[in-house]
């Protein structure tokens, strides 16, 4: 044994370092055998509260997890990729977190400083939108087309990068061969909608709005034209536009009548309930009284039965001769 | 033996074909647009055929066997349309000059009036083909729609695109099945002649790079005749002359994300082949009205003086031409330069 513990010619240090190295390797190897999820805590902030989300959001989250699972499985079984180790994961985490943390700090500082600037920007934007209402529509339409084209996978069939490029060529500024497709539903749109839902206005408010619009349209013919086109376009898209004061008034009247009818029906119902109650109670009372009277009559009859001898008519009521 | 007769008198119930599918799309949650295709006035036999062709085109969200009577007005159709969830009306009519097609949205939507310059029936189109193909569930799914040349930014064209885009239900990219996209409607606008070409095709996918023999063998599953061959390899590798249509440019081939049938496998190249079915029309947008065949005219192509007799053929419930002219006076907007002529004419 002593021979084995002989100090080699290189000196103590090299031997020690090599043993330390081998031991640390051994421990690393042991650690790698532990699955990483016991080791690295998952970021709970990244997952939003699942149960509180809308259906569309839940569906998209599910899709994402499925894809993540698939990806993870592929990476696991990929023979060419390096086998990932815990150390690598830890490093990835650190790299991922630190730059974002830096950004957060920077943003928070900037936010407080430029609040005024943001307000100014917003005001300017609102005014710009108000001014360019007519022109903007065309741009929005173009943007919508491009969006449709980019996300539309070749008319619903398999995604074709080549086709997209061809479409991009067509959408030139000369506007000669702009190709548009039918309506396409993207999965991500539903999440933003929930906050933008407009509240339904009451019919009285709609009536006021319609009247005002009509007045404005009478005075200003260009505005009238714009409004009619806007109404036609939104009607074609399926949005209900209430701009006819007569129709709104008609529907208000109908609603009022319906309400009155329902109120009457309710009153009738309450009345009938009362009546039925009364009837039943009366019936019960009558039956009870009747029973008592019956009992009495039976008793009298029983008493009188004894005196119904042949030749006699019952209890004597008085003397035969009048006194 | 006593003869059994049907002594019951069944009242006339307007039979509206098979039961319409549900109003709300299960996948997207939107309302599915449905349509009625009918005619106003007496149409000659050829136009009646065109009407049935249009009805087949709009399947499955339309009433295939809609029966209309002469005394029915548009109001009657509107009354039925409400509860059934019908959103669009396609109305064919004929005047001395030409047939007209009106596309309108219920209940008070805009109406686009198209003049049909020329049309071909589906039967004729198919007769002209060498190998007509009609898949048995070709009409079980709604068609896709492609509009080309409409993007010039003019208001009436925009409205036309929006109108046509909303006639057919929306497609959800995440859940759509490739097998359900079988038909396609193409509308292409020619700026110079202002005519819209209307075409209707069926979509077929064919694998590219597979020799014809192998493809036929897989399709037909018939044992080939190998009597004259020494070896199976001869069968597979024999250089047969490929069909002319095999020479496709790259633009017409796609790589599918999923399998489609036995032939077209995922992530293999397949060629998209369109074969024309259905009617062919050449339309010209003539008028856009604010209401459903009523209301003010917001766009008019010609400055044509619409006489009270022409254009509309009859019917009490419809707006007569006189009303229309009155409405023209009321709010006449339009982006056509010919409006001046029209206003001069109308101011009597």
Question: Cα separation of B104 and B81, whole Å?
Answer: 13
Give residue-wise pLDDT tens across range A45-95.
666 677 788 888 888 989 999 999 999 888 888 887 776 666 677 777 777
pLDDT at position B115 is 94
B86: nearest CA in chain A? A238
Q: Which residues of A touch B172 (CB under 8 A)?
A: 185, 187
Helix axes A86-113, A115-131, angle to 10 degrees: 80
CB contact (8 A) between residue B30 and residue A185: yes
pLDDT band at residue A20, thresholds of 50, 70 and 90?
very high
pLDDT band at residue B320, thresholds of 50, 70 and 90?
very low
CB contact (8 A) between residue A141 and residue B145: no
Q: Which residue has the higher pLDDT, A2 or B321?
A: A2
B268: nearest CA in chain A? A158
| Cα atoms in the 13 Å half-sphere on the side-chain side of A66 | 6
pLDDT higher than threshold 90 for residue A267? yes
Query: How does the average pLDDT of chain B come out, rounded?
Result: 77
CB contact (8 A) between residue B171 and residue A185: yes
Q: Which residue has the higher pLDDT, A226 or B207?
A: A226
Q: Which residue of B108, B146, B173 is in closest CB contact with A185?
A: B173
Whether the Cβ atoms of residue B157 and residue B165 lie closer than 8 Å to each other: no
Element (H or E) spanning B188, and its range? strand B183-190
Q: Which residues contact A308 (CB under 8 A, 6 or more apart)?
A: A314
Q: Which residue has the higher pLDDT, B2 or B312?
A: B2
A243: nearest CA in chain B? B108
pLDDT at position B26 is 61
Q: How many residue pairs from chains A and B have C-beta atoms closer than 8 A?
A: 144
CB contact (8 A) between residue A157 and residue B178: yes
pTM, two decimal places: 0.58
pLDDT higher than threshold 50 for residue A319? yes
Element (H or E) spanning B150, and its range? none
pLDDT at position A288 is 97
CA end-to-end distance (rounded Å), chain B: 76
Q: Which residues contact B306 (CB under 8 A, 6 or more apart)?
A: B321, B324, B325
Is the CB of residue A173 less than 8 Å away from at least one CB of chain B? no
pLDDT higher than threshold 70 for residue B102? yes
Question: Cα separation of B301 and A160, whole Å?
Answer: 39
Q: Which residue has the higher pLDDT, A253 or B30?
A: A253
pLDDT higher than threshold 90 for residue A259? yes
pLDDT at position A85 is 67
pLDDT band at residue A43, thresholds of 50, 70 and 90?
low
Q: Are strands B35-39 and B88-94 parallel, antiparallel or unpaired?
A: parallel
CB contact (8 A) between residue A142 and residue B151: yes
Whether the Cβ atoms of residue B88 and residue B36 lie closer than 8 Å to each other: yes
State mean pLDDT over A198-209: 81
Alpha-carbon Rg for chain B, nearest whole angstrom, is 25
Q: 10 Å Cβ neighbour count for B290?
A: 22
B156: nearest CA in chain A? A229
Whether the Cβ atoms of residue A179 and residue B147 lie closer than 8 Å to each other: yes
Which of B108, B191, B295, B328 is the best mutation test for A, with the most CBs of A within 10 A? B108
Question: Cα separation of A236 and A258, whole Å?
Answer: 30
State mean pLDDT over A136-145: 55
Q: Which residues of B touch A156 (CB under 8 A)?
A: 144, 171, 173, 176, 178, 181
Please give the share of chain A, as a percent, with pLDDT higher than 90: 22
Q: Which residue of A142, A184, A236 is in closest CB contact with B110?
A: A236
State mean pLDDT over B136-145: 87
DSSP assignment, residue B31?
B
Interface ipTM > 0.85 = no
Q: 10 Å Cβ neighbour count for B246?
A: 14
Give residue for tokens 């000196």: A11
pLDDT at position B16 is 60
State mean pLDDT over B176-202: 89
């Amino acid at each position: 044994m002593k021979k084995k513990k002989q100090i080699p010619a290189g000196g103590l240090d090299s031997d020690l370092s090599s043993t330390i190295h081998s031991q640390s390797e051994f421990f690393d190897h042991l650690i790698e055998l532990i699955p990483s999820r016991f080791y690295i805590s998952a970021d709970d902030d990244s997952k939003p509260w699942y149960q509180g989300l809308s259906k569309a959001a839940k569906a998209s989250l599910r899709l994402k997890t499925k894809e993540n699972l698939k990806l993870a499985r592929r990476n696991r079984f990929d023979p060419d990729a390096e086998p990932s180790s815990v150390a690598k994961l830890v490093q990835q985490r650190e790299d991922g977190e630190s730059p974002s943390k830096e950004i957060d700090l920077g943003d928070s500082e900037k936010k407080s400083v430029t609040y005024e600037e943001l307000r100014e920007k917003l005001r300017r934007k609102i005014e710009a939108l108000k001014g360019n209402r007519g022109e903007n529509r065309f741009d929005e339409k173009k943007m919508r087309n491009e969006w449709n084209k980019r996300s539309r996978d070749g008319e619903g069939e398999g995604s074709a990068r080549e086709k997209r490029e061809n479409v991009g060529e067509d959408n030139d500024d000369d506007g000669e061969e702009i190709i548009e497709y039918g309506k396409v539903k993207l999965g991500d749109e539903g999440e933003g909608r929930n906050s933008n839902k407009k509240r339904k206005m009451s019919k009285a408010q709609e009536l006021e709005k319609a009247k005002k619009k009509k007045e404005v349209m009478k005075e200003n013919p260009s505005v009238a034209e714009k409004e009619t086109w806007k109404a036609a376009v939104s009607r074609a898209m399926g949005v209900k536009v209430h701009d006819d004061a007569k129709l709104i008034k008609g529907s208000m009247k109908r609603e009022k009548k319906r309400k009155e009818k329902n109120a009457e029906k309710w009153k009738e119902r309450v009345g009938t309930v009362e009546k039925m109650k009364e009837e039943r109670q009366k019936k019960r009372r009558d039956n009870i009284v009747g029973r008592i009277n019956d009992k009495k009559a039976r008793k009298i009859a029983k008493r009188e039965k004894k005196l119904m001898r042949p030749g006699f008519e019952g209890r004597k009521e008085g003397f035969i001769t009048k006194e | 033996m006593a003869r059994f007769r049907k002594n019951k008198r069944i009242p006339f119930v307007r039979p509206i074909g098979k039961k319409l599918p549900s109003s709300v799309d299960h996948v997207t949650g939107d309302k599915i647009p449905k349509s009625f295709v009918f005619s106003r006035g007496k149409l000659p036999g050829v136009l009646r055929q065109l009407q049935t062709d249009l009805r087949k085109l709009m399947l499955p969200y339309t009433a295939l066997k809609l029966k209309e009577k002469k005394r029915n007005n548009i109001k009657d159709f509107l009354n039925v349309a409400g509860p059934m969830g019908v959103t669009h009306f396609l109305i064919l009519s004929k005047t001395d000059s030409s047939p007209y097609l009106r596309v309108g949205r219920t209940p008070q939507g805009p109406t686009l009036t198209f003049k049909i310059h020329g049309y071909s029936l589906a039967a004729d189109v198919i007769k002209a083909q060498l190998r007509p193909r009609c898949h048995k569930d070709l009409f079980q799914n709604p068609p896709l729609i492609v509009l080309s040349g409409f993007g010039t930014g003019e208001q009436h064209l925009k409205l036309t695109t929006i109108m046509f885009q909303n006639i057919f239900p929306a497609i959800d990219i995440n859940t759509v099945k490739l097998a359900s996209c079988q038909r396609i409607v193409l509308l292409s606008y020619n700026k110079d002649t202002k005519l819209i070409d209307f075409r209707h095709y069926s979509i077929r996918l064919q694998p590219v790079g597979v020799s014809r023999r192998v493809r036929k063998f897989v399709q037909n599953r018939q044992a080939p005749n190998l009597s004259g061959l020494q070896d199976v390899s001869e069968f597979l590798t024999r250089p047969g002359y490929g069909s002319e249509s095999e020479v496709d440019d790259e633009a017409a081939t796609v790589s599918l994300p999923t399998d489609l049938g036995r032939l077209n496998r995922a992530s293999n190249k397949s060629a998209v082949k369109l074969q024309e079915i259905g009617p062919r029309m050449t339309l010209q947008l003539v008028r856009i009205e604010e209401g459903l065949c009523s209301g003010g005219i917001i766009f008019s192509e010609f400055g044509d003086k619409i006489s009270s007799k022409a254009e509309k053929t009859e019917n009490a419930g419809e707006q007569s031409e006189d009303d229309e002219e009155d409405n023209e006076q009321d709010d006449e907007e339009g982006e056509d330069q010919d409006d001046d002529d029209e206003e001069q004419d109308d101011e009597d």
